[in-house]
Copies of this chain bind each other. A is one copy, B any other.
Amino acid sequence: MKNILIIGCGLIGSSILRAVNQKKMFRNIFILEKSKKNISIIKKLNIKCKIIKNIKNISVNFDLIIFCTPMSQYSNVILKINKLITKKTIVTDVGSTKELSFINVKKKLKKNTTWIPSHPITGSEVSGPKYGNKNLFKNKWCVLIKEKNFNKLHLLKLKSFWKKLGSKVILMNSKQHDVIFSITSHLPHLIAYNLVKTATDFEKNKKHNLIKFSAGGLRDFSRIAASNEIMWRDIFFNNKKNMILAIDLFIKNLNSFKQDINLKKNKQIIKKLIKTKKVRKQIILLKQDVNKPDFGR
């Protein structure tokens, strides 16, 4: 492929930039980025690329256009880049929810364009190009969304793109995607935010200084709860339907734990606690984490 346009050059966008540059995957790399701070960081990377602030003056045939902005910005940007899309252009994004964002995108997108959504499972609590890394995608899952009437050739090419970046590619439809990640990622983030909120509410009410004792558990949640607020608002709103179901199931289970504690139901609680331990073993077997104890960092 010859020309790539990366729209938004934060953590993910700048990691793609670093990776495609190192692997010499494109002849020309274009970046659409507004933030002065981000632009100044990207310039310091000394990567041969063209940074565009205003898309109006551009006339290039792109092979790949990849959206790496917060999902709430997609609609606005699409209207500006429609004129750059040819039949040859593969359009994708890296957003964390797929069903609703996909429907919204379709409304604005030039007709007969195939937008094949991607979701590299590579996030962190930090954001911005400062933290980008050419190996960010290495050995990580990248979900590609395969809907009806997808363009087979484009899908093959996009698959090969992510594989070159080191990802393990898996296909699913947007419905499946949003259900699975509501549980493995979106609910955990909301729960982390909610736990930190509960701790601060408590500190305020009881006037106890408790943050300094957070090494006992709260610390780990606070890391996740330091993630980018725009990105996570977009995720929660876009995956609303599944979030509500996940929250309800979570509260149902928590009330059951509450009852076990209140009535000191020994057998029930031990059974539950042992069961969750087994999940940890599965996660390590599946190489989603390493089997290394954590005593604080």
- A184 at the binding interface (Cβ < 8 Å): yes
Q: Is the CB of B222 within 8 A of A217?
A: no
Q: Is the CB of A251 within 8 A of B249?
A: no
Q: Is the CB of A225 within 8 A of B276?
A: yes
- A244 at the binding interface (Cβ < 8 Å): yes
- A79 at the binding interface (Cβ < 8 Å): no
Interface SS, A side: helix
| A window 134-156: CB within 8 A of B | 136, 140-141
| A window 268-297: CB within 8 A of B | 269-270, 272-277, 279-283, 286, 288-290, 292-297
User: What number of copies of this chain does the assembly contain?
Assistant: 2
Q: Is the CB of B211 within 8 A of A189?
A: no
| Stretch with Cβ within 8 A of B (4 or more), from A24-32, A41-49, A103-111, A228-236 | A228-236
Contacting residue for A124 out of B221, B262, B294, CB 8 A:
B294
Q: Is the CB of A266 within 8 A of B233?
A: yes
Give the number of residues in A that approach B within 8 Å (Cβ atoms).
103
Contacting residue for A212 out of B212, B273, B288, CB 8 A:
B288
Q: Is the CB of A184 within 8 A of B218?
A: yes
- A126 at the binding interface (Cβ < 8 Å): yes
- A185 at the binding interface (Cβ < 8 Å): yes
Residues of B contacting A194 with CB < 8 Å?
A: 250, 253-254, 257
Known A-B contacts: A193-B273, A289-B296. Give 14 more (CB < 8 A). Answer: A126-B293, A185-B218, A192-B217, A196-B280, A197-B253, A200-B279, A211-B279, A211-B288, A223-B289, A223-B294, A226-B277, A229-B273, A233-B273, A244-B262
Top 9 A-B residue pairs of the complex, sorted by shortest distance between their CB atoms? A185-B216, A188-B217, A226-B280, A229-B273, A196-B276, A126-B293, A225-B276, A185-B217, A290-B297
